[in-house]
Structure formats: C-alpha cells, structure tokens
Amino acid sequence: MEEAIPFSKEARAISDLPLVAYAAGFFDADGSVFIAYRQRRISGRGQWAVYTTIFTTTPSVVRLFAEQWGGSIGPTPGGVIWRTSARTADRFLRDLLPWLTIKRTEALLATRFRRECLRKPAGWNAKREWYRQAVHMLKSRRT
C-alpha cells in the first residue's frame, strides 16, 4: 500500500491546475529526479539533497516552470535544462504527485527521503544511500 505524501500547501492554492498537470506530463516524459551527496568546493562540507531536472529544446516551457517553482535554467548542448534542488525540488515533486504516472514512484521516494533522512546524523548515511540507489534503479529499469 502506498504511503500518503502530503501535497505542499502551495499545490492546494495553485489556481492554474492545468499548468501543474502539464508540468507533470512534461516531467514524466523529459524530467529526471535524483538524490545525491554534493561536496562544496570551498568549505569541503557536503550535503544530501533531492534534485530534479528537465531538458528541453523549448526554453519558454521551462521558463513557465521556473516562474512557478523557482530553480535555475541553463544552456546545454541542443537545448536548455531547468534544475531544482532541496526544498524547491521537494515542493515541485509534491505539487506534481497527483498527476505523475511514469515517475511517480521516484517522486514518492524522493519526497520520503527529504522527510526521513535530512538533518539526521552521519549514521543515517546507509539509509540515505539506500534511497539514492532505489531511485537510480527505477531509472535504469526504464532504459
């Protein structure tokens, strides 16, 4: 049985639900969610976070998403990429959950990861790594 993940407060307040549903379809097709540990160059300290990306050749689409959820847009060979991380990625995924199909399980794992594993001591690294591998394994099944 699937555990209920609370949708973000913003999702309940979004009046433009077609945009959220459109974003979910777009994310199912061209998006990616992953969990990673990133070490900072200057301080050397690192942190675990949830990340989402969408690659497209249509910048206007990801501009709409960035206006709604934040994140950053950057050029890549052949198009543009929109990235979110941490709280922004969590809110984006929770907003899209009711409409996701292909990446629903990945989104559920990522939102659960944020709830269960962040701000925990280093002893939680094994559980964090389990979530990271679970999301990665779901991706490899689709390719």
10 Å Cβ neighbour count for 101?
Answer: 9
High-pLDDT (> 90) share of the chain, % = 63
10 Å Cβ neighbour count for 83?
Answer: 18
**pTM (2 d.p.):** 0.82
Confidence of residue 6 (pLDDT cuts 50, 70, 90): low
Q: What does the pLDDT average to over 50-77?
A: 95
Give per-residue pLDDT as tens, 7-30: 555 544 445 578 999 999 999 999
Q: What does the pLDDT average to over 112-137?
A: 87
CA distances from 90 to 52, 112, 141 (A): 9, 9, 23
**Torsion over CA: 113, 118, 124, 125 (sign):** positive
Average pLDDT of every residue of the chain:
86
- Of 29, 19, 4, 39, nearest to 92 (Cα)? 19
